[in-house]
Amino acid sequence: MTDEDNVIGFVVGGAYSKGTLVQLQNRVHEEIEVGYCLVAESGRGNYLMIVNDIIADSPNTAITVNMARKPTFTKHLLSDILLTSKLNCIPIACASGDRVDEALTVPDYLSKCKLLTEDAAEAFYGKIDWQKRYPLGTVRPSEYNVPLDVSVMVQNSFGIFGKSGTGKSVLGNLLSAYILLYSKNSVLAGEDIPTTQLIFDMHSEYGLKLKTPSQTILAPGVAQCFPEEFKVYCVDHELVGEIEKEFKRGTLAKEFKIKKEKIEVEDIIALSELLKISGVGALNLQSLKDKLDEIAGNWFEAIINFNDYTNQDLKNMGFDTQTITSLRALSRRLSIFKNLPQFSEADDTCQELLKELENGKNIVVSFGKYGDLEALYMFIVNYISRRLREAYVGKSIGEGVRNRIIIFVEEAHKFLNPGVRESSPLGLIARELRKRGIVLGIIDQTPSQIDENVFGMIWNFFVGATSIERDVDVVTSSLKLTQLFKPLVTSLRRQEFLVYGSALKYPAVVKIVDYNSILKKVREEYERKFKANVNNDNVKRFLEED
């Protein structure tokens, strides 16, 4: 194909705020899709543009064609002259010589437009080096893989959004694998402190397996691909057996336990919204804690079993009628926690988990069959995050903090909605601890439920398809030319994300790399550099089974 064959049209007008208009030439508009990248060659430089609308704008001519008489022949005669089609394109960047800048104008009239080629794409987005820049996926219509600069991504919180089934959890696992490899590489090169990950794995997709929407197995989760680097704490004790049986990972999977004595009133108050605990109920709990401690050894045990005591018993212990009624109501709300095996008299694995995290182990907390028990998921995420925050407030990188920590959290709006953001441990972490090296990997289906202040802390956005208008509004709100990007978000397919932020040079619509094949490559890189001569048969076997 000659260079001229690649020309698909020319610029005929437009406005910076509305986009560039490109008239198609020698092409039927059906060949071009929303999300395609073009390059417009003007005298000033090459403009990278993303198509956000396809316009067939000759209806008056089309209706004059007599469809009874050789319409194909007539169409051929009229094409490009009287039957024209146009593309509306978002100006993204402009390359002139070695310089590439964000586009702040539109290309000149009659600039030739070509479909993006791999070479042209590289001039804008740079090269993959498997050190800092890792392959995120292709930009249509080229096969070029855009590099994601993981060294930049890990510095700040990032967000993965999109409706169910768009590929958020697969992408979460992929980013986690890249962060792991980046951390190993950067420490080896002496370029960065280690980055460790704490992953709250609601549906056991990081600790065990990723599944397709029809519940067949898609691939091993990141922890299974790198058993040397991850430890899985299982909220569901049956998961320990499952992980050990299938992957022979021995002590790397462990049951997660909370000692009842260690539960603070704040841990329950954090669930007020979900459990509809009133302000009075919460206040009662605070003031009566010591008294409740006396009844059953610890206040939590006393409150979840409060209905075992008769009114008379309680009165004898000094509770008045009003307090008894209020505590009974609270006890009913907390009854979901009664008899849960995670609450123990003796063991508490949280301290151990935090110690390991601090020492550089990546941690996955997998919920197994308890993933759908919202109150327990929220309780445990809050419980661990509160203690992590307490351990890190007051420390900063360079003075005591040896690792950067990235906390992945699915259904993040539960912890970051306007009602709780100011008091929830994750909300506080997002606000206070970035400078101390703790950031969030926020994963959510309904970003409009997240407090708007949180979006100011997110530096990289991975936006999957979503059709709810207020969700589209919030996930595009950090872009320039917001309105122009919205049609892109609604038209994304599964596995496609609009990606923008500090870790990608320019916004792009990316078809994310195939998870199975890329994880094999990540594993190979890892083995080549960090596990020379180690033959991990379990991992190999699993990676070979698709």
Asked if residue 418 binds ligand ATP (CB under 6 A), the reply is no
Candidates 9, 19, 167, 501; binder of ligand ATP (CB under 6 A) is 167
Asked if residue 494 binds ligand ATP (CB under 6 A), the reply is yes
Which lies closer to ligand ATP via its Cβ, residue 296 or residue 468?
A: 468
Q: How far apart are CA 433 and CA 198, in angstroms?
A: 15
Rg (C-alpha) for the chain, rounded Å, is 28
Stretch of 120-128, 177-185, 211-219, 330-338 lying at the interface with ligand ATP (CB under 6 A) = 211-219
Would you say 200 and 194 are in contact if contact means Cβ atoms under 8 Å apart?
no
Given ligand ATP, Mg ion, none, residue 495, with its beta carbon under 5 to 8 Å by kind, binds ligand ATP
Cβ-based burial of 544 (10 A; exposed 0-12, middle 13-18, buried ≥19): exposed
9 Cβ neighbours under 8 A, 6+ residues apart: 22, 23, 24, 25, 27, 87, 113
Residues engaged in binding Mg ion (CB under 5 A): 168-169
Minimum gap (Å) between residue 463 Cβ and ligand ATP? 12
Asked if residue 465 binds ligand ATP (CB under 6 A), the reply is no
Minimum gap (Å) between residue 35 Cβ and ligand ATP? 16
Candidates 382, 445, 460, 476; binder of ligand ATP (CB under 6 A) is 445
Candidates 14, 35, 135, 162; binder of ligand ATP (CB under 6 A) is 162
Q: How far apart are CA 356 and CA 362, in angstroms?
A: 8
Asked if residue 512 binds ligand ATP (CB under 6 A), the reply is yes
Would you say 204 and 370 are in contact if contact means Cβ atoms under 8 Å apart?
no
Residue 462 phi/psi, 5-degree rounding, is -120, 105
Given ligand ATP, Mg ion, none, residue 325, with its beta carbon under 5 to 8 Å by kind, binds none
Query: By beta-carbon distance, which residue lies closest to Mg ion?
Result: 169
Asked if residue 212 binds ligand ATP (CB under 6 A), the reply is yes
Give the residue ranges of DSSP H helices in 258-318: 265-269, 272-275, 279-296, 299-304, 311-316
Residue 105 phi/psi, 5-degree rounding, is -150, -175
Reported as half-sphere exposure (CB side, CA atoms, 13 A), residue 212 has a value of 6
Q: How far apart are CA 321 and CA 331, in angstroms?
A: 15
Closest CA to 508 of 46, 138, 179: 138
238's tokens:
């049956």
Which lies closer to ligand ATP via its Cβ, residue 168 or residue 414?
A: 168
Given ligand ATP, Mg ion, none, residue 170, with its beta carbon under 5 to 8 Å by kind, binds ligand ATP
The helix (H) or strand (E) run that includes residue 62 is: helix 59-64
Asked if residue 168 binds ligand ATP (CB under 6 A), the reply is yes
Given Mg ion, ligand ATP, none, residue 14, with its beta carbon under 5 to 8 Å by kind, binds none
Minimum gap (Å) between residue 408 Cβ and Mg ion? 11
Candidates 218, 405, 409, 519; binder of ligand ATP (CB under 6 A) is 218
Minimum gap (Å) between residue 139 Cβ and ligand ATP? 15
Given Mg ion, ligand ATP, none, residue 321, with its beta carbon under 5 to 8 Å by kind, binds none
Token pair 């403009």 in the structure block, residue: 47
Asked if residue 213 binds ligand ATP (CB under 6 A), the reply is yes
Which lies closer to ligand ATP via its Cβ, residue 212 or residue 483?
A: 212
Candidates 495, 498, 501, 543; binder of ligand ATP (CB under 6 A) is 495
Stretch of 86-94, 160-168, 189-197, 532-540 lying at the interface with ligand ATP (CB under 6 A) = 160-168
Minimum gap (Å) between residue 173 Cβ and Mg ion? 10
Asked if residue 449 binds ligand ATP (CB under 6 A), the reply is no
Stretch of 15-23, 259-267, 344-352, 509-517 lying at the interface with ligand ATP (CB under 6 A) = 509-517
Of residues 8-27, which lie at the interface with ligand ATP (CB under 6 A)? none
Name residue 210's beta-bridge partners.
Answer: 219
Would you say 269 and 383 are in contact if contact means Cβ atoms under 8 Å apart?
no
Minimum gap (Å) between residue 160 Cβ and ligand ATP? 8
Closest CA to 491 of 3, 50, 41: 50
Q: How far apart are CA 147 and CA 505, in angstroms?
A: 9
Which lies closer to Mg ion via its Cβ, residue 183 or residue 197?
A: 197
Would you say 34 and 52 are in contact if contact means Cβ atoms under 8 Å apart?
yes
Residue type, 503: A
Candidates 47, 485, 515, 526; binder of ligand ATP (CB under 6 A) is 515
Q: How far apart are CA 47 and CA 111, in angstroms?
A: 10
Reduce the DSSP state of residue 370 to 3 states and report it: helix
Residue type, 462: F
Residues lying near ligand ATP in the complex (CB under 6 A) are found at 162, 164-170, 212-213, 218, 445, 494-495, 512, 514-515
